[in-house]
Structure 1
Amino acid sequence: MAQLSNDSFAFGGPLMSIEQAAALVGERVQPVAETQTVALAEADGRVLAEEVVAGLDLPPFANSAVDGYAVRFADLAPDGESRLALVGRIAAGSDAAGVATEGVAVRVFTGAPMPAGADTVFMQEDVTEEDGFVRLPSGLKPGANARPAGEDIARGEIAFAAGQRLRPQDLALLAGLGRTSVLVCRKPRVAIFSTGDELAEPGQPLPAAGIYDANRAALRAMVQRAGAEVVDLGILRDEPQSLAARLAEAAQDSDLILTSGGVSTGEEDHVKAAVESAGSLVFWRIGIKPGRPVAMGVIGGTPFIGLPGNPVAVFVTFAFVARAVIARLSGTQYKPPVPLPVRLGFPYRKKEGRREYVRVSLAPGADGIIVASKHPQDGAGVMTSLTRTDGLVELAEELTKIEEGRIVPFLAYDLLTA
């Protein structure tokens, strides 16, 4: 577990952009050092801890890409149709050794090894067989429909760099290279908890002035989707001394402590005092809405993030701040999601110097261009504004008055929770 100094998250600038926040995380948080060897079947979503070099050519031998007829291009007539004797038949998995190719055609099937000397394959639907010969049309290019050894990746070529988060397509390549296991970084352990005397666990009786704890359910899922292991500390009550003790205890066995709510300056916001008692705390004034200053700190050498208390603000600040921290701890490079352009279906006003994310639903316009419609309720506590929309449009810092019809960036929720 990386040990940070108490001033690791100090920031002396004015309002911080999301990009600055991600850059500071990259500078000041160190990846988890421990590694594990896992079976390929269990490696989806894990981060490689070592470079993977191809140990063989892929494909390992030249083969046919189609069902057809393999020939030497040099044996074809320079102009017009060619007529060659049909000799031999090679199926996928068969041995092509000793099959003659000079001046003849060989019947081959998809994946079958190319006989020595053959370099071009005619598709079967383009060829006519007659009396032991084949008639081959003109116009095919040399090398057509033939896959050379190493076409996909060559022996000795770097298949993956360390830090790659493995996806299904990556596992396919590793399997194709004959790998059965990989060395990966240990998943970061992220301790999450909620605070407040008003909170109740779902399924339990709801007090007269109580609400069910919704944020922790979202954080559990988002932390897991970010590739980390959840240490769920449940609900902590507004007791400053026990809060400080629980935070210090969590720091001993986790790589990140994550909370929502309780870090403002109100009289009942006890998390702020508890963090300062157990370690250090600074507020990052990130220019983002929904959201407000994100609390960053260090407790016993372990980084701490205090997110806002409203569910929508929790979702947005986790997506753009906490995910960058978890990516860094996981040993991979944080890659901001790439937005897609949509047409704004409503006018909007905002303050300059702050990036705003507006919850929208998408539908095709009359001309086929996708139009974003704003959810009618945009309060940071309205959870249905997330469940009944498709994603967020991103309105840049310099904008103040945005006209309907403007093309703006759109981020689907799937991109923010991948």
Structure 2
Amino acid sequence: MSLETGATTAPRTSLSVEDARHRILNAVSPIDGWERVAIRDALGRVLREDVIAPFNVPAHDNSAMDGYALRAEDLPDGIGERSFRVIGSAFAGRSFSGIVGTGQAVRIMTGGVMPAGADSVVMQEKVRTDGEHILISAGVQHGQNVRRAGEDLSEGSVAIPRGKRIGPADLGLVASLGLAELCVARRLRVAFFSTGDELASIGSPAAPGQVYDSNRYTLHGVLTRLGCDLVDMGVIPDRPEAIEAAFRSAAASSDVILSSGGVSVGDADFIRTLMDRLGEVNFWKIDIKPGRPMAFGRIGNTWMFGLPGNPVAVMVTYYQFVMDALLKIAGVSPLPERPLIPMVCATAIRKSAGRQEYLRGHLLCEDGTWKVRPAAAQGSGILRSMSEANCFIVLRESQGDVAPGDTVDVQLFDGLV
């Protein structure tokens, strides 16, 4: 869509949290573009093609235990013991070259290749030694303590599917396949800025009535953790022409725009109006607390999120709506699930039905039982509550007051990317 179309599709009613998420995730789509990177540089990147196993993993049948490799059919069926002559050893990286025959065994270490003729391993704790012989009782099953070739990955199978965001374990798995590079999606490019004449930049004195801009630093942190290429456009004054210029510049160079502030209905709130004029607005109100005014739409081919100005509302709306959208645009598939965990609430919470609320909470263990309590200050401008909290307490739209001992849903900060 051209920047000049001015089409407006936004309904002017509030959406539920789930409806808003559904609209956003249904609208956005992955970006184009890819590159090949060394595996050391692939952490946090999104795979653009499947990683295919070039050989079986493990490559050979091998022992899962330190013990003795032998033929299970030679073991006694009932009570008593059977003597086996030890004819050699097999270590990881140094195989036994002979063949195990009737009544014979090979000393084998964990990871050692199974000798020809042997089909089972008896762990060393179940063996009695007698010179060059070992004595074993009944009870060993055929194939016991043996890891089969291809048990982890078979040659030609998908080791890691495309769309996965590479983690530390994936780097090790790729290295175990002998692969030096990966094909990954290009990094998502995100432009972000704050709006407001009341905002002062850090490092300079704040004039009377001004506050220091914290939202850009919060957004810098979450976007850096997500692995995006960032365009920090600074603080834009509350003038329509300045905000319009910022929109045009960001839309020309980025995949996504994030703004904070100016999205409500005040005299100096121009974000939604300009989005309407330059592109399209999908919605701008959500039944959520904090964060009710949040605009979502696009300008040209660039997705746009107009976040609230209050610092806590910025973080709540980012985690509940923006983050998964950015992951999808970056090519992550399927999107990670973020479970809600039932937890006993240690204190009373006052709430009116009508909006889904996200309180900053702190998980703690009391008398051996895990509980959650709200942070002391829940105002949407009190960023300290986010710094001290380790979870969100999620109270549904229809939910009312919470009494001590009631169960509430908790969303852990740990695991939020």
Band the TM-score falls in, shorter-chain normalisation: over 0.9
Q: Which residue of 1 aligns with 2:44?
A: 45
Contact 1:4 1:29 in 2 (8 A): no
Change (3 A) 1:160 1:17: farther
Q: Which residue of 1 aligns with 2:360?
A: 359
CA RMSD between the two structures = 2.2
User: Partners of 1:6 and 1:325 in 2: how far apart?
Assistant: 24
After superposition, residues 342-381 of structure 1 pair within 5 angstroms as 342-366=343-367, 368-381=368-381
Contact 2:191 2:257 in 1 (8 A): yes
Q: Which residue of 2 aligns with 1:23?
A: 22
Q: Which residue of 2 aligns with 1:318?
A: 318
Change (3 A) 1:10 1:83: farther
The answer to whether structure 1 residue 299 and structure 2 residue 302 are counterparts is: no
The letter of the residue matching 1:97 is S
Give the SS at the match of 1:415.
coil
The letter of the residue matching 2:375 is H
Deviation at 1:323, TM superposition (A): 0.8
Q: Which residue of 2 aligns with 1:78?
A: 77
Give the SS at the match of 1:60.
coil
Deviation at 1:9, TM superposition (A): 8.7
After superposition, residues 2-401 of structure 1 pair within 5 angstroms as 10-12=9-11, 14-79=13-78, 80-332=80-332, 333-366=334-367, 368-401=368-401
Deviation at 1:140, TM superposition (A): 2.3
The letter of the residue matching 2:136 is L
Deviation at 1:3, TM superposition (A): 8.7
- Which range moved further: 14-23 or 294-303? 14-23
Change (3 A) 1:399 1:224: same
Contact 2:75 2:140 in 1 (8 A): no
Give the SS at the match of 1:50.
coil
Contact 1:360 1:373 in 2 (8 A): yes
Contact 2:8 2:279 in 1 (8 A): no
User: Partners of 1:67 and 1:122 in 2: how far apart?
Assistant: 8
Change (3 A) 1:249 1:185: same
Give the SS at the match of 2:415.
helix
TM-score, normalization by structure 1: 0.93
Contact 1:227 1:330 in 2 (8 A): no
Deviation at 1:5, TM superposition (A): 11
User: Partners of 2:149 and 2:265 in 1: how far apart?
Assistant: 66
User: Partners of 2:70 and 2:374 in 1: how far apart?
Assistant: 62
User: Partners of 1:122 and 1:334 in 2: how far apart?
Assistant: 44
Which blocks of at least 5 consecutive residues in structure 2 are unaligned? Answer: none
Provide Cα deviations, 1:126-177, integer angstroms capped at 9, x if missing partner: 2222221111232222222211111112122222222111111222222222
Contact 1:187 1:330 in 2 (8 A): yes
User: Partners of 2:102 and 2:192 in 1: how far apart?
Assistant: 70
User: Partners of 2:378 and 2:153 in 1: how far apart?
Assistant: 50
Provide Cα deviations, 1:171-192, integer angstroms capped at 9, x if missing partner: 2222222222111111110101
The letter of the residue matching 2:360 is R
User: Partners of 2:124 and 2:108 in 1: how far apart?
Assistant: 9
User: Partners of 1:370 and 1:75 in 2: how far apart?
Assistant: 53
The letter of the residue matching 1:285 is K
User: Partners of 2:220 and 2:383 in 1: how far apart?
Assistant: 16
Contact 1:342 1:369 in 2 (8 A): no
Change (3 A) 1:373 1:233: same
Change (3 A) 1:337 1:10: farther
User: Partners of 1:345 and 1:252 in 2: how far apart?
Assistant: 50
User: Partners of 1:295 and 1:163 in 2: how far apart?
Assistant: 28
User: Partners of 2:206 and 2:289 in 1: how far apart?
Assistant: 31
Contact 2:6 2:278 in 1 (8 A): no
The letter of the residue matching 2:29 is Q
TM-score, normalization by structure 2: 0.93
Contact 2:289 2:355 in 1 (8 A): yes
User: How many residues align structurally?
Assistant: 415
Give the SS at the match of 2:106.
strand
Contact 1:9 1:297 in 2 (8 A): no
Deviation at 1:51, TM superposition (A): 2.0
The letter of the residue matching 1:74 is E
User: Partners of 1:236 and 1:15 in 2: how far apart?
Assistant: 27
Contact 1:64 1:121 in 2 (8 A): yes
Give the SS at the match of 1:20.
helix
User: Partners of 2:2 and 2:26 in 1: how far apart?
Assistant: 14
User: Partners of 1:242 and 1:6 in 2: how far apart?
Assistant: 20
User: Partners of 2:200 and 2:173 in 1: how far apart?
Assistant: 47
Give the % identical residues.
38
The letter of the residue matching 1:357 is Y
Deviation at 1:261, TM superposition (A): 0.4
- Which range moved further: 271-280 or 337-346? 271-280
User: Partners of 1:132 and 1:280 in 2: how far apart?
Assistant: 83
User: Partners of 1:301 and 1:290 in 2: how far apart?
Assistant: 29
- Which range moved further: 6-15 or 149-158? 6-15
Deviation at 1:282, TM superposition (A): 4.7
- Which range moved further: 164-173 or 345-354? 345-354
User: Partners of 1:54 and 1:82 in 2: how far apart?
Assistant: 42
Deviation at 1:408, TM superposition (A): 1.6
Change (3 A) 1:103 1:293: same
Give the SS at the match of 1:348.
coil
- Which range moved further: 405-414 or 282-291? 282-291
